[in-house]
Chain A
Amino acid sequence: MNLPVDWNPAVQAFVYLAAVLVSAKPLGIYMALIYEGKPALLNQWLKPLENFFYRFSGVDPAKGMDWKAYAVAMMIFNALGLIMVYGLQRLQNFLPLNTMSLSRVPPDLAFNTAISFASNTNWQNYGGERTLSYLTQMLGLTVQNFLSAATGMTVLIAVIRGFVARQAKEIGNFWVDLTRSVLYILLPLATVLAFFLVSQGVVQSFKPYGKASLVQPLKGETGQDVSEQILPLGPAASQIAIKQLGTNGGGFFSVNSAHPFENPTPLSCLLQLLAILLIPAALCYTFGSMVGDLRQGRALLLAMTLIFVPCLLVCYLAEQGGNPVFEQLGIDQSANALQPGGNMEGKEARFGITDSALWAVATTAASNGSVNSMHDSYMPLGGLIAMWLIELGEVIYGGVGSGLYGMIAFAVLAVFIAGLMVGRTPEYLGKKIEAYEIKMVSLVILIPPILVLLGTAVSVILPAGKSGILNPGPHGFSEVLYAFSSAGNNNGSAFAGLSGNRFYYNVALGLAMFFGRYWLAIPLLALAGSLAGKKTVPQSPGTLSTHTPIFIFFLAAVVLIVGALTFFPALALGPIAEHLMFKGSTA
């Protein structure tokens, strides 16, 4: 009953996208009820727990905050997370649950990892199984996987309230939004997913690493006999579930979701893929539901999907097409019933090309830095798609919360541009878009490219930056460009040939991640505050409707044009040059 090979990738992609889009609506509406404090089963059953949280920490849930108080609360909370992750790494050799007696993490790496996890980037300069103790993974990384995701959701909800509120100062209570995100959304979903992942073979154990006697012993580096293999363990499934649901992406193990203990089967791969896009897609409906017009949310979701599908197609074709160099060596790269074929360097046999390309495109679209194949070994155009999706600003689904607030910024920009064309004061969802709003939106759209391009330019000039490059030629430039794209847009995946774990990159990428996160979140909260204070303008026949196919295409075009114009010169020096070299070498 195997389907013909040719159809399999298309059917897999269709089933996957359909599953995401179908589950987005109910989950999105559920989340809207949660944030609005309306009854939705779980928040009735767990109400006493929620109330205990507020009593214990002195939160008055009925009291709203203006945007500045909201921003201050968010920054305080994120600073605590940063300090915690940093401290745990620096002290892990004195703390319990360090079963493998790992030493303390050096300060620059600890700094990088702390920002990486607080900012929902999850860039990995650490190598999980050889760097971090079980305690650091649990109390540091797992916690930040939840809290950084919840932070993104709170900022988004505040922005949505800005549109909903009328002549108000307040945009909600940060502590309430945060608590509800964790209690009613992230934790229940993670529990279910973690359980399924364990059933597939993802490890979940506090035992020290296991040992196996090798069937065929081998000679080590210095000629010594090696007859045992280390089998790493740890509380992995619990962390991996939230790593995907929260669009975090930081691996429990060094190679992330390519590791057989982190992603053992095609089913675990599908479940994780679903988890990656689930909440970002569903939040579109949360947005629609809260502004009282589901079509508004659906329009943003469709604009995202419109960009996603062609990207997937190009990436898949580039990888399945294989490497012309392999062709010259007489290797069989054809796809047939017995082998996936294509460019299999840096890919796992169980995932082949289809699941690898799906994963690469979904994770780079969604600011989820996890990988199940090595992007550095992708064909130039395959790698280009991954890099460019990140550079679009992580708004194609994007991170939980952050993806949609980025897309809302683009929608405001699109409305503004349309307004300029017809000469009317632009309005979005009944709120007049004026100079202040456009200033904030410009910050949100311009800061990441500045971080990316400036960081890349400086790094390819400085010896400290150049010496980390692995691959020669344009591909080496791509490694650096990818690193800053990933850090500046809080994605977290890498062209991992770049030696990121050195002082220069730990600091430079750490700073890029920090500003890429908070310099966007704060202007957005300011935008929310300004919108909340405005009156709602009644709809008139001249109002631009923002749910129609025309607007959806227009919005997608604005995202694509901004992304293409900003990054084309840099991409031309990297993947595009490399692609042309291939054409030259095989002509």
Chain B
Amino acid sequence: MSGDPIYTEMIIEYSRNPSNFGKIENPQIHRHDSNPLCGDSIDLYVNVDGTKITDVKFDGKGCAICMACTSVLTEMIQNKTLDEVKNFQKDELLAELGLEHLIKTSPVRIKCALLSLKALKYGIYSYFTEKMNDVKAAGNLKEEAASLY
């Protein structure tokens, strides 16, 4: 199985030792999401200072793809502003792990890869609309999250 297009060393490593794995008590953004068909289930926690992300963690259970992608996502958004993160695209995340091909080759597994990004987009949407009362800032995040895969 050398040269496996999905199960690279990096993905196996992340699945064994996920980054930012844990929980933030009383976070400003918290979103739970799951893939009912395959059983990936994660909670994403984000703290912000004004509009800058100061801390990100996640916990839950998932496959290697889900664990690796969520790990990478939490690494990528650390210390970014919400405005930057808002426009974060799925291709950027997938490219980081060399998983762009999943969009075409595996409509099932792409859900594992993008679950955390979906949770993040929904989470930021709720933060803007519910905590900041700023519907304008929330933009199309909800629709984007819903149509991610």
Note whether A and B form a binding pair. no
